[in-house]
Amino acid sequence: MAAGERIQDSLKRQGVRLTRQRRILLDLIDESGEHLDAERLYLLARGKDPKLNRVTVYRTLKMLKAGGLVDELDLMHHAGDQHYYETRRKQEHAHVVCLRCGAVEEYFGPALAEMRRQIEVAFGFEIVMARTEVGGYCGRCQTEMAQEKGKGTKQ
């Protein structure tokens, strides 16, 4: 079942009607391939429905988050206090964030499942959800920083 269908089924179980505007927002979050903040989501949604307003976006995000249908991420606070949204996926993943340019990559791999298993065993803990963020510098930024450092020492 696709994420959109799972979300729609979950909303029905919670007694929440999936309005046209909510559908637009869900589709944008699920299909954009980006980590969208509320303002970017609002601007994209306005392109599909000019009557949609910011209040609808924020209320819908709050409802989807409370219902466990979307995750709110801070992505290492690379953009200050900005928050980003993505639909819950079946497979856990880590967000790898460049602290210089803000590029975000998603890592899917067996190391995450192993870390989860180790935590459960070590603490006797039942993990319901996990978020993993890794901050550092992407290859392009490492190169640029090395070049900037080299320029600074040649005087």
Q: What is the pLDDT of residues 91-109, one digit of tens each?
A: 788 899 999 998 999 898 8
The CATH number that applies at residue 49 is 1.10.10.10
Please check whether residue 121 is in contact with residue 84, taking contact to mean a CB–CB distance below 8 angstroms: no
The answer to whether residues 134 and 62 belong to one domain is no
Same domain for 109 and 78?
no
The tokens for 23 are 């559908």
Q: In which domain, by residue range, is 57 found? A: 1-90
Q: Do 123 and 67 share a structural domain?
A: no
| Per-residue pLDDT at 66 | 83
* pTM attached to this predicted model: 0.71
Residues constituting the chain: 155
pLDDT at 1: 52
> By C-alpha distance, which of 21, 36, 26, 19 is closest to 4?
26
Q: Could you give the percent of the chain with pLDDT greater than 90?
A: 40
CA–CA distances in Å: residue 82 to residues 85, 87, 93, 113: 10, 17, 20, 28
Based on the domain organization, do 117 and 75 belong to the same domain?
A: no
Which of 66, 90, 114 is the last residue in one of the domains? 90
Please give the Cα distance from 7 to 77 (Å, whole number): 27
